[in-house]
Amino acid sequence: MTNSFLSELKRKTVSAEQAAAVVKSGDWLDYGFGLGQPDLFDQALAGRINTLEGVKLRGCLALRPRATVEADPQARHLQYFSWYFSGLERKMHDRGLCHHIPMNFGEAPDYYRRFVEVDVAVLKTAPLDAHGFFNFGGAVTYQKALTEKARLVIVETDESMPYVYGVENGVRINDVDLVIEGGKGSLPELPYPAAGQIEQKIAGIIAQEIEHGACLQVGIGAMPNAVCELLVNSPVEDLGVHTEMFVDSLMKLYQAGKITGAHKTLDRFQMTYCFAAGSSQLYEFLDRNPACFAGPVDYTNLPHRIMQNERAVSICNAAQIDLTGQACAESAGLRQISGTGGQLQFMRGAYASRGGKAFLCMSSTYERNGRRDSRIVPRLADSNVVTTPRTDVMYVVTEYGLTNLKGKSVPERARALINLAHPEFRDDLERTARDYGFLSRKLF
């Protein structure tokens, strides 16, 4: 590291309390994404939040409780906004402390550059490197665009943050206003959920559809994990990865020798992603790993990029689907539970890929308050958000099988989806479908 970088670092380094002091009433404050959200700054700002008014805090996929929000339980001084809810943000929302911002994830950098105002951006990064950059680590996403837009940029360094290779993966020290040196902390981890019998069955159906040389997009959850575990012991070889989220199951599939990227068009021989969340072993795996390529979310998620790799496979989840094929993956009525994220863009990109396949997966039923209900319904529940329009849904998978809705009429869709429902609900679904005119008595 040159003396000029070191001197600039020394000049800009402050305590968390000094950094938090720059926030003013009425500011738009942005914590960025996931692993890139600050902790020391957050705790320091919590200590003075009662001295401020009208602060608006924007974040996404918070993986730790936000001290600033918890210090203001009546939201009298600060309002928190999120692009995509983690479990923590969902609970904050239920308490009236968090509001959702709808978006297609791949458009986030453009939102910042064109529409979103940011007074202060505070991001957790890796320490300053020898070339004068703070690396965004496991949270590349839209962080570069955020630093371009913010009036004031603060970084909080953490030696535990993996240093990742790719593009738009860091910010130069001369573009940073203040630095909080956090030493070596510990990054939040997400558990590796075990798959139950239903998830295993759905995973088995999907795994049979994945071909030699396919390029995978998977997220976190028991079912995607189960798919990857089945692929470890399958005859399929030379898989590629082009995904938004890098998870433990992809690391394990790579370590088993199943991922080479040899058939990819974009970033051949590398696994492409824009953020990571999982175990500490995953973060160590990503650190300075030339097999991995981290890019901004408009690099990973826009359909015209996804489709460049042949045999792209997208595996997404849904909470509810109606008999015409429109799917909800982000809400339960008026209750926001997650967000659109990258689902719609990966469904479109995988479909457009030569030989591509987009899977929308769900268990046929769910239980709430001791009652079992069908995820396949005549029409979406009132106020449920349409995440993926019926025109974009390709394969639908439950534990009862798989169907491709592309090219199917409404009667054909209704019949195919009824056959994927739990047997307990099929008769009622058919009666309602006929009442709605979805099914013709003569043809179906």
Cα–Cα distance between 419 and 400 in angstroms, integer?
8
- Confirm whether 237 is a catalytic residue: no
C-alpha 367/C-alpha 6 separation (Å) is 57
Contact (Cβ atoms closer than 8 angstroms) between residue 401 and residue 419: yes
**The pair of three-digit structure tokens given for residue 212, joined into one six-digit string:** 């030699």
Backbone angles phi, psi at 57, to 5 degrees: -110, 125
Which has the closest alpha carbon to 166: 39, 299, 41?
Answer: 299
Catalytic-role residue among 8, 156, 244, 330: 244
What phi and psi, each to the nearest 5 degrees, are found at residue 156?
A: -115, 110
CA separation for the pair 326, 431 (Å, rounded): 19
Cα separation, 266 vs 405, whole angstroms: 28
Show the beta-strand stretches assigned E in 303-393.
312-317, 320-322, 327-328, 331-332, 335-336, 357-361, 365-368, 371-374, 376-377
Taking a C-beta distance cutoff of 8 angstroms, is the pair 343, 388 a contact?
yes
- C-alpha triplet 347, 258, 291: angle, nearest 5°: 80
Tokens of 382: 């009132």
Kindly list the catalytic residues. Answer: 244
